[in-house]
């Protein structure tokens, strides 16, 4: 059953709020229809109650365990994939809080005490994992949101945001490279949203920027300009980023042959896939698959023609491999 969910492509999650709610709080099992590689324009706070496995946030894959608290910015693709036995289900694994930037802005416009939280939200495009006492206190507030009613429910939302905003440097980890500016507006925001939707819908097939531009109702040059300005990446670089991230997800969580993974992420030529994967991850797909979750490279930024420096992984340091 788990494989049925894992092999689906990423999707834009449509988050519906009840008329009586200004944000969404929910808990869910794993696997489930809602637990999949997705992205959405809302901010998301995510608590793992039970189980271990691998997360994918932006372009990064790493391990998770009970008590992990993460903040995901708008548009950042994400998923948490548990290590499961056949037909195993992890009940009530996740607690999720989702809210829009517009809702927060309206609150902050009348409650200036919320302004210190803005810096936290503006940095969430990288994805942030919280640890230590910050994670413990944030997890407790997230749980209380689910049991409280009315104004008390809202007070716990503000409390968890304040807790995370006050986190010391040693208790927060920025997971990935900035995905795109959470402050993006107008044509830039439209270009990124249309581009991401098109890429996710066609990740296993041929992708053309002309098609994405048409969906955004822009000419190719205009679309390219706004997409790069708002995302920090060229359109082709974003396609590569997402394809390799999806490949890491499939290699870690399925037994599909590498040739099938290659086709599933849009590389018809296996040799080209192996080359691109090695360039971005620093090892072959087969070697990546053999490693445990704790041994796989984390905290690195795929180059994607950005020439970004990164720290060597444990394996690279031990082998003396330059990065």
Least confident of 14-23, 27-36, 76-85, 196-205: 14-23
The Cα–Cα gap between 173 and 127 comes to: 8
- Altogether, the residues listed in the chain come to a count of 323
So where are the chain's domains? 2-174, 186-312
Better-scored residue on pLDDT, 105 or 16: 105
pTM (predicted TM-score):
0.70
- Summarised one tens digit per residue, pLDDT across range 146-201 is 999 999 999 999 999 999 999 999 999 998 766 554 444 567 777 887 888 888 88
d(CA 228, CA 245): 19
Superfamily of domain 186-312: Homeodomain-like (1.10.10.60)
Say if domain 2-174 classifies as CATH 2.60.120.280.
Answer: yes
Dist. CA 192–CA 127, nearest whole Å: 17
92-102 pLDDT, tens per residue?
999 999 999 99
Cα–Cα distance for residue pair 249/8, rounded to 1 Å: 11
Residue from 8, 22, 14 nearest 39 by CA: 14
């Amino acid at each position: 059953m788990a494989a049925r969910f894992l092999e689906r492509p990423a999707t834009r999650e449509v988050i519906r709020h009840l008329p009586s709610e200004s944000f969404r709080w929910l808990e869910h099992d794993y696997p489930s229809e809602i637990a999949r590689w997705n992205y959405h324009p809302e901010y998301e706070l995510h608590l793992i109650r039970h189980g271990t496995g691998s997360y994918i946030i932006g372009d990064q894959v790493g391990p998770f365990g009970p008590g992990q608290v993460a903040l995901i910015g708008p548009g950042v693709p994400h998923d948490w994939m548990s290590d499961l036995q056949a037909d195993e289900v992890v009940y009530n694994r996740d607690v999720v809080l989702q809210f829009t930037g517009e809702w927060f802005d309206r609150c902050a416009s009348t409650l200036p005490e919320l302004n210190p939280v803005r810096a936290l939200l503006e940095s969430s495009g990288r994805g942030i994992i919280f640890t230590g006492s910050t994670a413990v206190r944030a997890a407790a507030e997230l749980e209380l949101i689910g049991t409280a009613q009315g104004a008390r429910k809202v007070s716990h939302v503000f409390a968890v945001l304040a807790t995370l905003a006050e986190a010391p440097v040693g208790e927060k980890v920025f997971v990935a490279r900035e995905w795109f500016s959470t402050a993006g507006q107008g044509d830039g925001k439209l270009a990124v949203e249309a581009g991401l939707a098109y890429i996710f819908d066609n990740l296993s097939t041929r992708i053309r920027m002309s098609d994405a531009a048409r969906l955004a109702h822009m000419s190719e040059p205009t679309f390219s300009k706004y997409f790069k300005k708002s995302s920090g990446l060229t359109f082709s670089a974003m396609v590569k980023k997402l394809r390799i991230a999806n490949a890491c997800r499939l290699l870690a969580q399925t037994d599909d042959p590498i040739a099938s993974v290659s086709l599933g992420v849009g590389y018809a030529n296996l040799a080209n896939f192996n080359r691109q994967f090695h360039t971005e991850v620093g090892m072959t797909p087969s070697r990546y698959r053999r490693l445990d979750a704790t041994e796989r490279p984390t905290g690195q930024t795929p180059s994607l023609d950005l020439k970004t420096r990164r720290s060597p992984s444990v394996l690279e340091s031990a082998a003396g491999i330059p990065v």
